[in-house]
Amino acid sequence: MARINVSTAQLAVLEQTVLGFVRVLRRLALAAAAVVLLLVVVLKRDDGFDGGDVVLTLLLLTPSAIVLFFTRSVLELVTLPGRLQRVPGESQERLTELARIAGDPGASKIRSAPFLLWRFRGTAGTLRGVAGVAVTVRAFTPWFLAATAISAFACIAIIGIGLIALIAAAVG
């Protein structure tokens, strides 16, 4: 089996490229959500805000939510190697501290039990955070990738149509 060798410089360039892509997508989603919220203000000002407007608002906010979920998943995946590298050191630090607390003869075992359990929760949380990648990986299924692409184009359309509607409302 052939081995693939990738330098850390190449990985750093890839990470910076992915982070730039995520920033652009996040700004696009936030801009679309801001335009929708401005439209809500205009709708509320003109003729009140009824149930149909609520449904329309939720439908217009859906593409932004999908794109934001995707960007969060990409960020989780990009930070995974760093988190995996930190787990052994963090776990060793916590185990050393737990052993010190458990072995302290001056501390009452009953009094220190809640603190000991709280510190163990942090260790378990670190492992759960690393294992929680399964949810992130679901964002890279073909169906969700297609939904994200469609949502990104929908965000662009929402921004364009929303700005035209806001200009028309301001003029008219």
3-state secondary structure the chain: CCCCCCCHHHHHHHHHHHHHHHHHHHHHHHHHHHHHHHHHHHHHHHHCCCHHHHHHHHHHHHHHHHHHHHHHHHHHHHHHHHHHHHHHHHHHHHHHHHHHHHHCCCCCHHHHHHHHHHHHHHHHHHHHHHHCHHHHHHHHCHHHHHHHHHHHHHHHHHHHHHHHHHHHHHHC
104 found inside a domain: no
Better-predicted residue by pLDDT, 114 or 106: 114
Does some domain include residue 2? no
Range of the domain at 157: 12-86+133-171
71 in a structural domain:
yes
User: Are 60 and 39 in contact, with CB atoms under 8 Å apart?
Assistant: yes
Model pLDDT, residue 58? 93
Model confidence pLDDT, tens digit, residues 45-86: 767 778 888 898 999 999 999 999 999 888 888 877 776 676
Whether residue 108 is predicted with pLDDT greater than 80 in this model: the reply is no
Q: Identify whether 17 is part of a domain.
A: yes
Residue 4 lies in a domain: no
144 or 105: which leads in pLDDT: 144
Is residue 127 in a domain? no
In a domain, 123, yes or no: no
On average, the pLDDT of the chain sits at: 79
pLDDT at 133: 60
**45 assigned to some structural domain:** yes
Q: How many domains does the chain have?
A: 1
